[in-house]
Amino acid sequence: MSSDYTRPDGDLFDPQERARVLDEVDAILGQVIDGRYEVISRLGQGGMGFVWEARDLVRDGLPVVLKTLRPELVDNEKTAERFTREAMASATMDHENVIRVLGHGVTRDYGAYYVMERLVGADLGRAMEALGGPLSVARTFEIATQVAAALGAAHARGIVHRDLKPENVFLADRGGREVVKVLDFGLARLLDSGDKLTETGAVIGTPRYMAPEQCQGEKADPRADVYSLGLVMHEMLTGQQPYRALGTYEILGKKMFEDMPAPSALERPVVLDARLEAFVMRCLARNPADRPADGARMLEELVALREAVLSAPTTVASSPPPRITAPPTLPSRPPMTSPVATPASRPPARRSRAGLFAALAAVAVLLALGGLGVGAYLLFGRPRVEPIPPPAPALAAPAPVAPPAPAPAGPRIEVTSEPAGAEVRTSDGRVLGVTPLPLRIGEDVADGASVEILLTGYAPRTIAVWADVPTAHVTLHAEP
């Protein structure tokens, strides 16, 4: 959520205007909207309004988030209708990865408003900024699959988000478990609705993440959301914001006439699994026909790709051979003084002849001793050497018996409910457990099987569980 204060057309307010706007906006602090929602503090702003922390006085002070229109837009019927459309679009989707809208209405002083669940965590934009680099491939898959699941739920109801970006992807902390929530369906359009709010020719959205067809003012269908999620994945995997240094018109031109560079072709290249890079670039194709058809199809491909990429063996770089270096050069040794006397210092030849006789006598003594040894050897024979027995042959170890290969496990999904603790049963009455409940497709339940969610005091719900949808979430409603 942005913390700067801008006009609806994107230009910054000057300091004087900003002070006036904040004075007007902050007048809502401490007020109770519709006799129910007490406004506590300002959290930020969206494209059309301000976002507040509030308490639901009817529900024992439950923390909620309240969104109101900007003061200058309160009397704009077209903007108010689009603002209400955001509330209605989110409220129709009972999905774990879409922020829940708890209510909406219109007041005389503050115009249209709606109320959402209060989330704890940070949006993806802030999370990436804090990290200061790319996300891991595994975490990118985890976030992208949950966003694709949310888009699939929206597209199945004929709703296109049209403004998907990191700031609209919230990483919520649910008791130590990260749950991705897609926010801000303010630009959402119901397909085939025939309305004139977002008619052809209007460029609506955030240019950096918009699909090329949106840049040209053409009608956006689910493939525009696929493009935006592909661009968010590109940013998660590379840690580099696309088109960051460009102005709006430069971005629009590049989107319409140039392909987005692949991660491996950036100025600071990032090497990915070739299959993952190819998938991201297919989502970023300028021609919508070359992209996955919608969020459900993108989710299906992401789940299969995640299994293939994350299970691939990691290549371990071999150690380089030891470097052979020349032996160190030893310092030159000074010439040794020869022990042999030089000719000038030799004694007379007569003294040399006496030394020769002494040497011959020593040799004769050695030969005599050697002869005695040979005679003893011949007389008493060679010493007896005991032969060394050959080693006993080693017994061959029995070949290890390989254990039977385990049957391949099916995909793991999780069934959750609000409130938690609901019993999950199969259609034949078999109790599987209580929510939040992990299930293994193919072992616990069949792919596409229907399960019933039951909790005392709440109306039962029946949902289908699918192998390619990692989470199945239902909101239980109290029985009248």
Cα 232 to chain centroid, rounded? 11
Report residue 27's pLDDT band, with 50, 70 and 90 as the boundaries.
Answer: confident
Is 324 inside any structural domain?
A: no
| CA–CA distance, 272 with 392 (Å, rounded to integer) | 56
Does 156 share its domain with 100?
no
Does 29 share its domain with 130?
no
The pLDDT of residue 294 is 96
Domain boundary among 65, 83, 118: 118
295-310 vs 274-283: helix axis angle to the nearest 10? Answer: 170
Is 256 inside any structural domain?
A: yes
CATH of residue 104's domain is 3.30.200.20
Give pLDDT tens digits for 42-88: 888 765 678 899 999 999 999 999 988 776 666 666 666 766 766 67
CB 77 within 8 A of CB 59: no
The yes-or-no verdict on residue 326 having pLDDT over 50 is no
Looking up tokens 């239980």, which residue turns up?
476
Does 144 share its domain with 219?
yes
CATH of residue 229's domain is 1.10.510.10
In this prediction, what percent of the chain has a pLDDT beyond 70? Answer: 65
Global pTM? 0.60
Report residue 227's pLDDT band, with 50, 70 and 90 as the boundaries.
Answer: very high
Does 170 share its domain with 101?
no
Is 366 inside any structural domain?
A: no
| CA–CA distance, 471 with 473 (Å, rounded to integer) | 6
Catalytic (active-site) positions: 163
Does 137 share its domain with 261?
yes
Domains: count for the chain? 3
Does 98 share its domain with 129?
no
Looking up tokens 């069934």, which residue turns up?
415
Does 196 share its domain with 273?
yes
Give pLDDT tens digits for 84-110: 766 676 677 789 999 988 888 888 777
The yes-or-no verdict on residue 263 having pLDDT over 50 is yes
Higher pLDDT pick, 277 / 400: 277
The pLDDT of residue 60 is 92
The pLDDT of residue 74 is 65
Average pLDDT over residues 440-466: 85
Is 342 inside any structural domain?
A: no
Does 128 share its domain with 109?
no
Give pLDDT tens digits for 353-388: 555 455 555 545 444 545 544 444 444 444 454 555
The pLDDT of residue 391 is 56
Give pLDDT tens digits for 30-47: 999 988 999 999 888 765
Does 148 share its domain with 261?
yes
Domain that holds residue 8: 1-118
